[in-house]
Chain A
Amino acid sequence: MNFLIQASYFAAAVLFILGLKRMASPRTAASGIRWAGAGMVVAVLATFFYPDLHNVGLMVVGIVLGGGLAWASGKRVAMTDMPQMVALYNGMGGGAAGAIAAVELYSGNAVAHGTGIAALAVLGGVIGAVSFSGSGIAFAKLQGWMRKAWSMPMHHIINGIVFVFVVLIGIGLMTAEQPSPFWISVFFLLSLFLGLTITTPIGGADMPVVISLYNALTGLAVGFEGFVLGNAAMIIAGTVVGAAGSLLTLLMAKAMNRSLANVLFSGFGADDGTESDGPSGTMTSVEASDAAITMSYAAKVIIVPGYGMAVAQAQHKLWEFVQMLTKADVEVKFAIHPVAGRMPGHMNVLLAEAGVPYDMIFDLDEINEEFAQADAALVIGANDVVNPAARTNESSPIYGMPILNVDHAREVFVIKRGKGTGFSGVENELFFGENTQMVFGDAKDVCSGMVTGLKEL
């Protein structure tokens, strides 16, 4: 029976890696998740045949309960809200890894296997607990339950002290002959607290990076607990995710031209945006139908979507408008900034939902030179990622971040709800540019207006 279990875990590991590999190319991506899913089913079924397994009834109840709730919520959630759902499910995984660590520490199993295993149990426990509570905060922020960045007085100092305590208690737990339940409880409570306080001061604009980081951390915690349980499937799957997720996190931080430490500890994107030396001048505004008609006579239009499009659910109307432009022989391309939206690739998912083929969608590096040849650029609900201050204004907090050079297009139309600043709280000089025209209003209403404008032409 042990052979069968091991063979199943081996098959699961192979399916996970092949599945992830297939998910890395748009053509095979949909089959990739099914391969990985098959691996999961095989591994879970095999685990029921584990030797000396008790509480099987409880186990089935737990799987049905947790799985059922997740199934129902996952099926129902709107595409716009995907980022917070990923954060939520990821936090659950981190919590599970923390729970395994707690069970193995309370029972004394972890310590019985030597200091090395105990150390991994402790390490996986703290990482899992931080990922659990931190992802919870990320979920609350993106869901709009928690709008303000929050920090205590002397926030970093308190965090530092708690961190030192966690490390000291952790060392105590792994070296003790039989760690006391009291200190194990304190250890986990402090770890959960740390996850909360690390995440609360981080602004919503940085959440994509944070979710990606917690995803990698959960993977790592799962891998460590895999060592504790001697479970190869957990070690492989957890480590692959830990490494892939770490790289993804660094790529995202790099796309914003910031270091990971800067994202986590600077409190950037948390201030209320009272910049004193912002650009001045007047914005020119234009009706949706006029903007649409101008674009229908262009040879080339590049569209830059941002979170505003997601909030307004404007992707379907936008695609309708784009199809009308294409019919009028306008060349249309979509340009996606790496950190547009609340998750890397968030915009691509929404555009795909509306039916936009992925070969119309381009990355920053691929398309940035083309703005100079475009007759018009249409910015829909994006702000910081098109702010020229990132290129020119050294005192700007976003200075150095690569941006989409929409201001190089002959004409720029910006669809924007109101006159406020973006998520980072920085004024955008693009809006005051000579070749910029603002179309104020909800992104979906404006797109409808543009479609009507072309129909009446």
Chain B
Amino acid sequence: MTPELALTGFVALYIFMLAAFTGYEIIGKVPAILHTPLMSGSNFVHGIVLVGAMVALGHAESITGQVIGFIGVVLAAGNAVGGYVVTERMLEMFKSSKD
């Protein structure tokens, strides 16, 4: 890990706390009709795990690490791409009668 990319303890903790409040606020005011798309959308957002899987694979030296890292990248890419495709398909359909 390069020091420039690492986060120190309390800064990371502040990020964690603020992000948690943000997530809470976003959901708090959502009409029920959007619960499924939003669950699907948030499912897509945690597809960011792909970035971590890439870093883990990229820094793996042992065969075990490379195999598990590769599996991680495949799964994470599935999460990100699949999450995007199904969310977009769902949201495309929402129309108002005034449109």
Contact = CB atoms under 8 A, between A and B. Distances in A.
Main secondary structure of the interface of A (DSSP, over half): helix
Interface string A219-247: 10011011101111111111111111101
B33 A361 contact: yes
B78 A69 contact: yes
A100 interface: yes
B48 A237 contact: yes
A71 B27 CA distance: 27
Given A244-B24, A361-B33, A33 B77 contact: no
A361 to B, nearest CB: 6
A16 B43 contact: no
Contacts of B80: 40, 44, 67, 70
A24 B95 CA distance: 14
Interface string A80-98: 0011011011101101111
Interface residues of B, number: 88
Contacts of A107: 59-62, 65
Interface in B2-59: 2, 4-7, 9, 12, 15-16, 19-24, 26-59
Contacts of B79: 70, 89-90, 92-93, 96
A394 interface: no
A211 B54 CA distance: 26
A438 interface: no
A359 B45 CA distance: 28
A183 interface: no
B2 A33 contact: no
A33 B44 contact: yes
Nearest to A227: B12
Contacts of A225: 49, 52
Nearest to A334: B33
A99 B68 contact: yes
A29 B33 CA distance: 11
B35 A36 contact: no
Main secondary structure of the interface of B (DSSP, over half): helix
Contact of A239 (B19, B54, B92): B19
Nearest to A360: B97
Contact of A93 (B19, B43, B65): B43
A53 interface: yes
B49 A346 contact: no
A150 interface: no
Contacts of A5: 5
Contact of A89 (B68, B69, B86, B90): B86
A71 B56 CA distance: 24
A259 interface: no
B85 A20 contact: no
A26 B85 contact: no
A433 interface: no
A72 to B, nearest CB: 9
Contacts of B88: 30, 33-34, 37
Contacts of B48: 12, 16, 40, 43, 222, 233-234, 237-238
25 contacts: A21-B26, A30-B91, A47-B54, A50-B58, A52-B58, A55-B70, A58-B73, A63-B77, A67-B80, A70-B77, A71-B81, A89-B43, A99-B68, A100-B69, A104-B56, A211-B39, A225-B52, A234-B52, A238-B46, A238-B48, A239-B16, A251-B35, A338-B35, A343-B39, A359-B97
- Of all A-B residue pairs in the complex, the 9 with the closest CB atoms, nearest first, are A99-B72, A243-B23, A74-B85, A357-B97, A70-B82, A66-B77, A62-B73, A344-B35, A93-B79
